[in-house]
């Protein structure tokens, strides 16, 4: 009976598909199962009594880690090595990675006598892990390169833009002498195009910052009603030219908010300018706002403009999507205003969406602004 139990254990150990070995506190091998023999390439008599260092463990691994010190330490503090992954060495010299579980065998005085080590080959897993790590590092460095490229590009473009915008402004304002109407008109286009290019550069920079997770909110307290007023004032000239009526309906429960004023201003300005762009002569544009529930303000910028067809709905918040086909020629824009606005609102913990009944039925852009921000 005893023998048969021993036989069972023997069979488990010898037929197992794991490396099973024992070593003493000096690191000399005292047991080496059959799988270990075939895996490492040593016959039993070749390895028993030999130290693991120089046989199945190189003194240092490929990265330079001191494995001799590790084995010494393991003999002293086996409890810290219950699970351990390290590089090992086959008889051929080939390096492999093994995941080990280690257990100390104590003598009758409680001192470590031997260590039982059971190991499995994880070389492929380790290689895959390293490849993922490399890919991640490459992606991170590419992203860094992109950010620094954008920052440099922005700077390089600003120098010539400074001359384009500045000189055309001096001329169109007749600071350096009178010009005729046509010249004024053309210079106005040069100046506006320069400004447009500048806002494109700014939007791209902002967007890349948001994407890199580097965009921070600068919170301050300000009056949302004032902001609405200013945004509408900004487009009042164009509204007058197009005979577009501007309407506001701001509930009295809307007042002071704590948010990033510059970004909220940019959002409202983007929405109102969009409405202006896409609303035909004689149409209407409005801002509606109210506090809904305890902690949220709902804002709606609406217009009676060209509307949004169902087939275009999914593109509205995509970058550069406005720059498609016929819209782009008719309605110049950076195509970044809406995606950027949505991201700014999301940074505040709010949401942005739109509704439109279809072509020529106008649009309503909504966003929420949570009030309980720290």
Applying CB under 8 A, the residues found at the interface with other proteins are: 151, 154-156, 158-167, 169-170, 173-176, 194, 198, 205
- Give the separation between CA 276 and CA 243, rounded to whole angstroms: 11
- Give the separation between CA 340 and CA 337, rounded to whole angstroms: 5
User: DSSP string covering 278-299, please?
Assistant: T--TT-EEEEEEEE-SSSEEEE
Shortest gap between Cβ of 156 and other proteins (angstroms)?
A: 8
Shortest gap between Cβ of 205 and other proteins (angstroms)?
A: 7
Shortest gap between Cβ of 184 and other proteins (angstroms)?
A: 14
Which is nearer to other proteins, 48 or 164 (by Cβ)? 164
Which is nearer to other proteins, 90 or 170 (by Cβ)? 170
Shortest gap between Cβ of 21 and other proteins (angstroms)?
A: 56
Which is nearer to other proteins, 288 or 343 (by Cβ)? 343
* Token representation of residue 268: 């409202």
Residues sharing a CB contact under 8 Å with residue 282, sequence separation 6 or more, in sequence order: 242, 243, 244
Shortest gap between Cβ of 178 and other proteins (angstroms)?
A: 10
- Give the separation between CA 147 and CA 287, rounded to whole angstroms: 36
Which is nearer to other proteins, 194 or 333 (by Cβ)? 194
Shortest gap between Cβ of 166 and other proteins (angstroms)?
A: 4
- Give the separation between CA 207 and CA 202, rounded to whole angstroms: 9
Which is nearer to other proteins, 16 or 193 (by Cβ)? 193
Q: Are 367 and 351 in contact (CB under 8 A)?
A: yes
Which is nearer to other proteins, 168 or 363 (by Cβ)? 168
- Give the separation between CA 169 and CA 184, rounded to whole angstroms: 10
Q: Are 279 and 360 in contact (CB under 8 A)?
A: no
DSSP conformational letter for 321? T
């Amino acid at each position: 009976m005893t023998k048969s139990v021993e036989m069972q254990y023997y069979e488990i150990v010898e037929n197992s598909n794991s490396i099973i070995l024992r070593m003493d506190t000096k690191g000399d091998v005292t047991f080496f199962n059959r799988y270990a023999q075939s895996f490492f390439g040593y016959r039993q008599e070749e390895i028993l009594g030999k130290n693991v260092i120089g046989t199945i463990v190189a003194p240092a691994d490929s990265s330079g880690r001191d494995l001799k010190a590790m084995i010494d330490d393991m003999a002293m503090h086996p409890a810290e090595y219950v699970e351990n992954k390290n590089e090992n060495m086959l008889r051929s010299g080939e390096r492999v990675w093994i995941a080990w579980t280690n257990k100390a065998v104590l003598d009758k005085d409680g001192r470590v006598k031997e260590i039982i080590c059971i190991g499995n080959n994880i070389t492929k897993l380790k290689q895959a892990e390293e490849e993922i790590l490399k890919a991640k590092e490459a992606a991170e460095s590419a992203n860094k390169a992109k950010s620094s490229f954008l920052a440099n590009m922005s700077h390089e473009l600003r120098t010539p833009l400074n001359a384009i915008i500045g000189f055309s402004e001096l001329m169109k304002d007749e600071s350096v002498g009178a010009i005729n109407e046509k010249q004024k008109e053309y210079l106005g286009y040069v100046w506006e195009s320069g400004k447009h290019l500048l806002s494109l550069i700014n939007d791209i920079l902002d967007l890349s910052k948001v994407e890199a997770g580097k965009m921070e909110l600068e919170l301050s307290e300000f009056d949302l009603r004032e902001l609405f007023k200013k945004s509408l004032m900004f487009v009042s000239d164009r509204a007058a030219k197009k005979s577009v009526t501007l309407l506001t309906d701001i509930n009295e429960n809307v007042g002071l908010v704590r948010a990033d004023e510059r970004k909220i201003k940019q959002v409202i300005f983007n929405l109102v300018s969009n409405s202006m762009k896409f609303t035909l002569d004689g149409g209407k544009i409005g801002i509606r706002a109210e506090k809904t529930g305890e902690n949220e303000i709902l804002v709606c910028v609406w217009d009676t403009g060209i509307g949004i067809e169902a087939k275009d709905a999914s593109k509205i918040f995509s970058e550069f999507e406005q720059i498609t086909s016929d819209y782009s020629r008719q309605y110049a824009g950076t195509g970044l205003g809406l995606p950027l606005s949505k991201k700014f609102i999301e940074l505040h913990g709010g949401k942005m969406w739109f509704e439109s009944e279809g072509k020529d039925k106008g649009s309503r852009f909504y966003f929420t602004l949570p009030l309980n921000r720290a």
